[in-house]
Amino acid sequence: MIELNDVSKSYNNGRVKAVDALTLTVRPGEIFGFLGPNGAGKTTTIKLIVGLLRPDAGTIRVDGIDNQKEPVAAKAVTTYVPDTPAIYERLTGLEYLNFIGDVYGVPKADRLRRIEKWLDIFELAGAVSSPIQSYSHGMKQKIVLIAALLPAPRVMVLDEPMVGLDPRSAHHMKEMMRTHCDGGGTLFFSTHIMEVAEKLCDRIGIIHNGRLIAHGTLEELRARDREDQSLEKIFLELTER
Amino acid sequence: MTKFFRLVRVGLRVNFGLSLFRPKHLLENKRDIWLIPLILIGIAGLFPVLLYYLKGIRFMYRLLAPLGQQAALLTFAILMGQFLILVFGFYYVLSAFYFSRDLDLLIPLPVTPVQVLLSKFTVVVVNEYLTASPIVVPMLIAYGIHSRAGFRYWVTAVFVYLLLPVIPLAIVSLLVVGMMRFVNFSRKKDALIIIGSLVLMTGALGLQFWLRRMPDAGPGRQVLIQFFNEGGFVQKIGAKFPPSIWATRALAPETAGSEFVHFLLFAGVSALLFGALFFAARAFFYRGLIGLGEVAARRRRLSRERLSAHISSGHRPIRAIFLRELRIMNRTPIFLLNGVLSVILIPIIFILFAKAGGGKSGSDSYRIILLLASSNSAAVILGSALFMTICGCLNGTASSAFSREGAQFWMSKVIPTPPADQVKAKFLHSFAVAFLGILAAAVVAVAAIQADIVLVLISLPIAMAAAAALTALGMIIDLLRPLLKWTNPQKAIKQNLNVLIAFFAAAGILVGLTIAVTALLKRGIRGELVISGLALFLFVLAGLSFAFLLKIAARRYREIET
Asked whether the predicted pLDDT for residue B135 surpasses 70, the reply is yes
Q: Where among B272, B290, B308 does a domain terminate?
A: B290
Tens-place pLDDT, residues B55-79: 888 888 888 888 777 888 888 888 8
Contact assessment for residue A71 and residue A121, using Cβ atoms and an 8 Å cutoff: no
| Nearest-by-Cβ selection for A103 from B299, B413, B416 | B416
Predicted pLDDT at B90: 79
Least confident of A33-42, B28-37, B105-114, B283-292: B28-37
Say if residues B384 and B451 touch (Cβ distance below 8 Å): yes
Q: Which of A201-215, B142-156, B459-473 has the weakest average pLDDT?
A: B142-156
User: Half-sphere exposure (CA, 13 Å, Cβ side) for A159?
Assistant: 20
Least confident among B196-200, B220-224, B468-472, B539-543: B220-224
SS (H, E, C) B517-531: HHHHHHCCCCHHHHH
Residue-level pLDDT at A71: 94
Amino acid (one-letter) located at B148: R
Tell me: do B285 and B316 sit in the same domain.
no
| pLDDT (tens digit per residue) in A114-132 | 999 999 999 998 899 999 9
Contact call for B314 and A105, based on CB within 8 A: yes
Q: Quick one: B400 and B365 in the same domain? A: yes
User: Which residues lie closer than 8 Å to A2 by C-beta, 6 or more apart?
Assistant: A24, A25, A26, A32, A49, A60, A61, A62, A155, A157, A186, A188
Our CA-based measurement puts residue B31 at a distance from the nearest CA of chain A, in whole angstroms, of 16
Whether B439 and B385 share a structural domain? yes
Name which of A22-31, B20-29, B202-211, B247-256 the model is least confident about.
B20-29
Contact B314 A106 (CB under 8 A): yes
Domain of residue B16 covers: 1-290
Classified as helix, coil or strand, A106 is coil
Check whether residue B219 and residue B349 sit in a common domain.
no
Q: What is the pLDDT of residues B495-504, one digit of tens each?
A: 788 998 898 8
What is the structure's pLDDT at A241?
Answer: 60
**Minimal Cα–Cα distance from A77 to chain B, Å?**
8
The number of C-alpha atoms within 13 Å of B253 and in the hemisphere containing its C-beta is 15
Q: Rounded CA gap, B351 and B301, in Å?
A: 49
What's this model's pTM, rounded to 2 decimal places?
0.79
The closest alpha carbon to A33, from A163, A217, A180, belongs to: A217
Choose from A44, A48, A102, A133 for mutation: most chain B CBs within 10 A.
A102
For residue A100, which residues of chain B lie inside 8 Å, CB to CB? 415
Residue A205, phi then psi, degrees to nearest 5: -120, 140
Question: Using a CB-CB distance cutoff of 8 angstroms, which residues of chain B are in contact with residue A133?
Answer: 295
From B554's Cα to the closest Cα of chain A, the distance in A is 10
Q: B148 touching A, CB under 8 A? A: no
pLDDT score for B540: 97
pLDDT tens for residues B155-213?
Answer: 999 999 999 999 999 998 998 888 777 766 655 667 777 777 777 777 667 766 666 55
Other beta carbons within 10 angstroms of residue B550's beta carbon come to 16
For residues B268 and B358, membership in a common domain is answered with: no
Has residue B424 got a pLDDT over 60?
A: yes
Grade residue B487 by pLDDT with cuts at 50, 70 and 90: confident
Residue B397: φ, ψ to 5°: -65, -55
- The CA-atom distances, in angstroms, between B225 and each of B220, B238, B546 are 9, 16, 51
d(CA B92, CA B169): 9
Looking at the fold, whether B10 and B128 belong to one and the same domain comes out as yes
In 3D space, the residue among B11, B189, B191 whose CA is nearest the CA of residue B105 turns out to be B11
Which residues are CB-contacts of A65 (< 8 A; sequence separation ≥ 6)? A73, A74, A77
pLDDT of B358 strictly over 60: no
**pLDDT tens figures, A57-103:** 999 999 999 999 999 999 999 999 999 888 999 999 999 999 999 99
With beta carbons less than 8 A apart as the criterion, state whether A146 and A101 touch.
no
| β-bridge mates for residue A189, sequence order | A33, A158
Given an 8 Å threshold on Cβ–Cβ distance, is A52 in contact with B561? yes
Last-in-domain residue among B290, B310, B325: B290
Task: Give A55's Cβ-side CA count (13 Å radius).
Answer: 26
Confidence bin at B20 (pLDDT 50/70/90): very low
Asked if residue A203 has pLDDT above 90, the reply is yes
CB contact under 8 A, A102 and B561: no
Helix (H) or strand (E) holding A79: strand A78-81
| Nearest CA among A212, A213, A228, A216 for reference residue A22 | A212
- Percentage of residues in chain A with pLDDT exceeding 70? 98
Contact (CB<8Å) B311/A104: no
Asked if the Cβ–Cβ distance from A112 to B307 is below 8 Å, we say yes
Percentage of chain A beyond pLDDT 90 is 68
Q: Among the listed ranges B205-209, B357-361, B444-448, which one has the minimum average pLDDT value?
A: B357-361
pLDDT tens, residue by residue, B28-47:
555 566 667 766 776 676 77
List CB contacts (< 8 A) between A73 and chain B. Answer: 416
- Reported ipTM: the value is 0.92
B304 contact residues in A (CB cutoff 8 A): 116
A24 touches A186 (CB < 8 A): no
DSSP per position, B299-363: --PPPHHHHHHHS-S---HHHHHHHHHHHHHHHSHHHHHHTHHHHHHHHHHHHHHHHHTTTTS--
Banded model confidence at residue B222, pLDDT cuts 50, 70, 90? low
Tell me the C-alpha distance between B480 and B61, whole Å.
45
* Chain B contact probe: residue of A75, A103, A108 with most B CBs at under 10 A: A103
Set of chain B residues whose Cβ sits within 8 Å of the Cβ of A95: 327
Looking at B239, B257, B290, the residue that finishes a domain is B290
Question: Can you give the C-alpha Rg of chain B in angstroms?
Answer: 25
Provide the number of structural domains found in chain B: 2
Strand order of the sheet with strand A78-81? A78-81, A155-159, A186-190, A31-35, A203-208, A211-216
Residues B248 and B380 in one domain: no
Cα distance between residue A104 and residue A102, in whole Å: 5
Q: What is the pLDDT of residue B218?
A: 45
**B188/B311 same-domain check:** no
Same domain, B315 and B213: no
- Rg over CA atoms, chain A: 18
More confident residue, B236 or A8: A8
Residues B302, B227, single domain; the answer is no
pLDDT (mean) for B395-423: 95
Instruction: Indicate if B351 and B249 belong to the same structural domain.
Output: no
Q: Helix, strand, or coil here: A161? A: coil
Three-class secondary structure of residue A212 per DSSP = strand
Say if residue B35 is in the same domain as residue B164: yes
Q: How sure is the predictor about B217, in pLDDT bands with cuts at 50, 70 and 90?
A: very low
